[in-house]
Every structure is written in C-alpha cells, then in structure tokens.
C-alpha cells in the first residue's frame, strides 16, 4: 500500500477516534440539516446515511483515500475495457452488456441479445413448452433466480420456471417433479462448461428426456460436444465474471419467462446507474459514498458484518445475491501486488426480508453485545397485494431504523412498567432486560418503484460499490481463487467416496469420514 494511502488511512482513523463514541441523536441535534445533507441519490435509488456514525469530515477523509488509491484512474480503466482483473489478465466489461445503444451499431453483444430475444419469443409463443428448467450454480443461478422473483409481476403466465443448483440430488429431483419432459426446455448454464454440480444435474435432467436443451457458456465448443445443438448455444465472454453475468445469456431464462421487453428494461436501468457511477465525482457518487460507509463501519469502527434487510418481499433473494457478489469479489487477503493486506477488505454480508427478519434475528441487532450495522431497502412505488399493507411495511422499516438509533434506557423501561402498574421490585428486576442500547447505525435506501429499470439500477449499484471498496482496499475484485482449492480436493476425494481407494496422503480426520460416508 502506498505512502499516500497510509496517510489517508491515518486521517480516517483520526476521524474514527473522534466519532467512535458519538451519539447519533447528538449528531442530529448539532446539525438540523443532517437528514438532508447526508442523503444522496442516483437513478431510481435514494440513500439516507444520516443514521450512520460519520459526518462530512469523515467522508472527506475517504475522498482523500480515493485520490490516493487512484479511484478515477481505476474507474477509467474499468469503463475503458482495460485489464483490471490483474491475476487473470482480463478486462471486466459486464457494464458493456448494458450499453443499449452501442457506438457503431451492431456488435457481438447486441447480436447475442438479438439471438436471445428471438429464441425466447420462439419458446414462449410456440405453445410447445410449458416449463423451463435452469441449471447453474453461483452467479449462474443466483442472478436469474433473484431477478425472476423480484419481477414476478412482469412474468409470462404460460411458462413455469424451475431452478436447480445444489448437487444434492433432492434439488434437481424437485426441479423436474410434476413436469412433462416433452414440454420442457432445459437450459444448462456454466461459464466453463466444466462445473461439477451443474453438469451432474444436467446429465440427470438430460436422461429424463426434455424436449430441447439450450446452453449459456463462454465455452461453446464444450457445450456442443456435450450434445447441445450449435444454434441453441448462447455465448458470453471471459471478461464477464460469473457473479456479474446476470446481464448476459446467463439470463436466457429471464428473457423467456418475462414479458416482451422487460429484460431490456433491466439493462436500461443498469446503464443509467453505470452512467451515474462513471461520470459523477466521488463526493456525489452514490456507489462510492456507500462504499465509504461500508469501509468506515468495517475498518474504522470495527464492525465485521452488516445485515442487508429488504422490506420488500419481492427482493427477498437480494441478500443471497449480494453475499456472493460482495464476499466472492472482495474476500481477499492480499493486494493486487500479492502483499498481505493491512486490514480486511470485505464485511460478512447476511440478511433476510423484513418483516420476517424482525421475528428472527433482530433480537441480536437490538440487544446483542456487538453492534451490527443494517442496510434497509424499501420499495417506494406501487406495491402488490392489499393496499393497507403498504403503510404497515413502511412503518416497520422506519421503526426498526429509529429503534436501532434511539434505543431505550433502563430508566425509561422501568418508568414505563411502573406507569402500567407493575410493582417497584418487578420493574427494577426487569428493566435491564427491557432496555435497548440504541446508538446503532443503519442506512435506509428506497427504490422509486420495483420496476425492471429500478431493479437493474439497484443491482448495478451494488456491483459498482464492490468495485469502489476493492479500489480503496487495493485488491482485485474480479478473480475468485478461493473457490478453487475446495473444488480440487472434492475431485480428489470423489473416487474414494464412490467406492474406490482413498488418496494415500489424507489427514486422519478426512480419511475417517471417507470410510464412514463412502458408497457400500
């Protein structure tokens, strides 16, 4: 890490020492305009950072870190198609999949999208197919699965979609249950077309006898060799990382299952966020500011995880998608140059949909020993279901953020119990149990509506936030070598678990478990 980056971190740590014990309520009392000045927006998205334990000076320290880390230069490299994935010698051009009006007219991306569109129209309108089974894992599964769930209101009524990702056979057995193979399309999605879980599931479903098989892959030759007709192979490129591949042919299932034009509207919304991120200075750039908040909580204040809570049932799969995006991208231990990192580069991402989460783990958020920052998301637009539920979901989201900040002292809890007629002894005994520490940080974000455009913008926002955090940490967010070692070891153990001889150099614990679990 450069000397200027170290100097910037020293300034951040100075600001953290000033603010670490600050009361959020006092920050509001000292700045009547805080709710306005700490709120920023971008296409389709607004974020209120005012309940975070930071101020303009702290954000200014991160702007200095961005200059020291050459944020502008790395951002220009990303959008210039330069090599930013330094360990694999690749560009990261997932954003290019979202350029809806490319200069010079037709190119390989628009050609691929046109083929997807024509194929989807054929499948959805022919009357020959009732169902689509999508097989992938990781980014080849989470993105399309989440998008279809989020945009259920835009689905075609005549197409059933099933997903299977886990190599546990129950998953793929569930995927085919009740379907007619002669009216089912199988889509196999694998960047390398060598992914063990996906190919095992694909072999099973192929033997079941689907009417047609398509593939999305960056290795079309392998898909054709496996048995997919050349015209039914849809390419994407090695400069599209798996967790960034939602925008490519990986979402062929979305093009089929969503109404005409909906997938393209997602691309348009994502492109709007791309342009905001590309052209806006750090100090007003929403993904960049959000990255600063994430790093402030993690590195300056020492909060190692955060909870992502969408108060929108249609976004219930967003935390799972974000887990992979953030932790597979930035879960690194060395810099781009291979030097050990002086601090962590990624928080633990977890969460679930509100209000369900309130009856699950919010006990820990409110009264646990450790502070866990929370990121709330609400849909500010039209909502499905009973109209009376709209205000209730907002009330719960706002109340949780307010309660995390305000808390309740033991004295307040005792006074409330006494006012309800409880005895002095019981109120004194129960007061510590009914007290809330408060002063716990949260961000509240809102989509203008849960439309295809807004969903595209939201997902692009998270992609760009991950990139900014990586730049500020000095790491490469576009490789994932940490996934590989376990895969290699699984392949080495598989023959023994299928009845063969175990590898001779196994540790005693693994060898014992191979004996317990191996096929008879």
* Catalytic center residues: 328, 359, 487
Q: Answer yes or no: are the C-beta atoms of 330 and 475 closer than 8 Å.
A: yes
CA-based nearest residue to 465, from 378, 354, 347, 351: 347
Six-digit token string for 191 = 């960047």
CA atoms within 13 A on the CB side of 67: 10
Cβ atoms of 400 and 358 within 8 Å: the answer is yes
Count CB neighbours of 148 within 10 A: 21
**Residue 231, class by beta-carbon neighbours within 10 Å (0-12 exposed, 13-18 middle, 19+ buried)?**
exposed
Q: How far apart (Å, rounded) are the C-alpha atoms in residues 89 and 396?
A: 47
339-351 burial, b at 16+ Cβ within 10 Å, e below that, comes to: eeeeebbbbbbbb
Q: Long-range contacts made by residues 98-104, C-beta under 8 angstroms, separation at least 24?
A: 98/247, 98/267, 98/268, 98/270, 98/271, 98/274, 98/456, 98/460, 99/271, 100/264, 100/267, 100/268, 100/271
**How far separated are the first and last CA of the chain, in Å rounded?**
54
User: Could you give the 3-state DSSP secondary structure of residue 234?
Assistant: strand
CB within 8 A of 143, min separation 6: which ones? 243, 245, 246, 250, 251, 321, 459
**Strand ranges, E, within 73-159:** 131-135
For 254, the token pair is 């979305």
Cα(149)–Cα(147) distance, rounded to whole angstroms? Answer: 5
Q: Strands (DSSP E) along 272-418, which ranges?
A: 305-311, 348-350, 374-379
- The tokens describing 281, both together, are 């200075």
- How would DSSP label each residue in 443-476? EEEEES-SSHHHHHHHHHHHHHHHHHHHHHHT--
């Amino acid at each position: 890490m450069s000397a200027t980056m170290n100097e910037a971190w020293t300034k951040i740590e100075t600001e953290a020492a000033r603010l670490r014990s600050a009361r959020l309520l006092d920050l509001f009392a000292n700045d009547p305009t805080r709710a306005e000045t700490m709120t920023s927006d971008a296409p389709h998205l607004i974020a209120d950072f005012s309940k975070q334990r930071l101020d303009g000076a702290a954000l200014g320290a991160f702007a200095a870190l961005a200059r020291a880390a050459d944020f502008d230069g790395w951002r220009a490299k990303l959008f210039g198609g330069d090599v930013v994935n330094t360990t694999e010698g690749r560009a990261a051009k997932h954003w290019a999949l979202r350029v809806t009006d490319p200069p010079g007219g037709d190119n390989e991306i628009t050609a691929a999208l046109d083929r997807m569109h024509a194929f989807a129209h054929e499948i959805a309108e022919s009357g020959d197919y009732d169902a689509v089974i999508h097989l992938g894992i990781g980014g080849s599964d989470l993105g399309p699965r989440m998008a279809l769930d989020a945009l259920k209101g835009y689905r075609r009524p005549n197409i059933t979609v099933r997903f299977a990702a886990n190599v546990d056979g129950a998953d793929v057995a569930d995927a085919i249950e009740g379907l007619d193979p002669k009216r089912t399309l199988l889509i196999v999605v694998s960047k390398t077309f060598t992914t063990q879980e996906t190919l095992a599931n694909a072999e099973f479903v192929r033997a079941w006898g689907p009417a047609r098989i398509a593939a999305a892959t960056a290795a079309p030759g392998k898909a054709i060799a496996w048995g997919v007709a050349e015209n039914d192979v849809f390419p994407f490129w090695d400069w599209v990382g798996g967790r960034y591949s939602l925008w490519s042919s990986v979402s062929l299932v979305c093009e089929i299952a969503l109404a005409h034009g909906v997938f393209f509207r997602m691309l348009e919304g994502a492109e709007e966020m791309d342009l905001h991120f590309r052209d806006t200075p750090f100090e007003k750039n929403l993904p960049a500011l959000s990255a600063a908040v994430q790093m402030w909580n993690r590195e300056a204040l020492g909060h190692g995880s955060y909870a992502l809570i969408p108060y929108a049932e249609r976004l219930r799969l967003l935390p799972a998608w974000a887990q992979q995006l953030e932790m597979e991208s930035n879960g690194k231990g060395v810099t781009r140059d291979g030097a050990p990192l002086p601090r962590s580069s990624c928080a633990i991402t977890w969460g679930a949909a509100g209000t369900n989460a309130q009856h699950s783990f919010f006990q820990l958020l409110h009264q646990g020993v450790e502070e866990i920052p929370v990121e709330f998301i609400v849909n500010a637009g039209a909502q499905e279901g009973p109209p009376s539920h709209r205000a209730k979901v907002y009330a719960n989201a706002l109340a949780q953020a307010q309660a995390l900040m305000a808390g309740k002292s033991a004295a307040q809890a005792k006074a409330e119990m006494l006012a309800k007629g409880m005895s002095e002894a019981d109120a004194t005994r129960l007061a510590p149990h009914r007290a809330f520490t408060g002063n716990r940080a949260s961000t509240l974000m809102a989509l203008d509506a849960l439309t295809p455009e807004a969903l595209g913008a939201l997902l692009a926002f998270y992609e760009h936030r991950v990139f900014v955090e990586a730049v500020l940490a000095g790491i490469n967010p576009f490789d994932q070598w940490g996934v590989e070692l376990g895969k290699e070891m699984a392949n080495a153990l598989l023959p023994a678990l299928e009845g063969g001889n175990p590898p001779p150099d196994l540790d005693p614990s693994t060898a014992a478990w191979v004996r317990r679990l191996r096929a008879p």
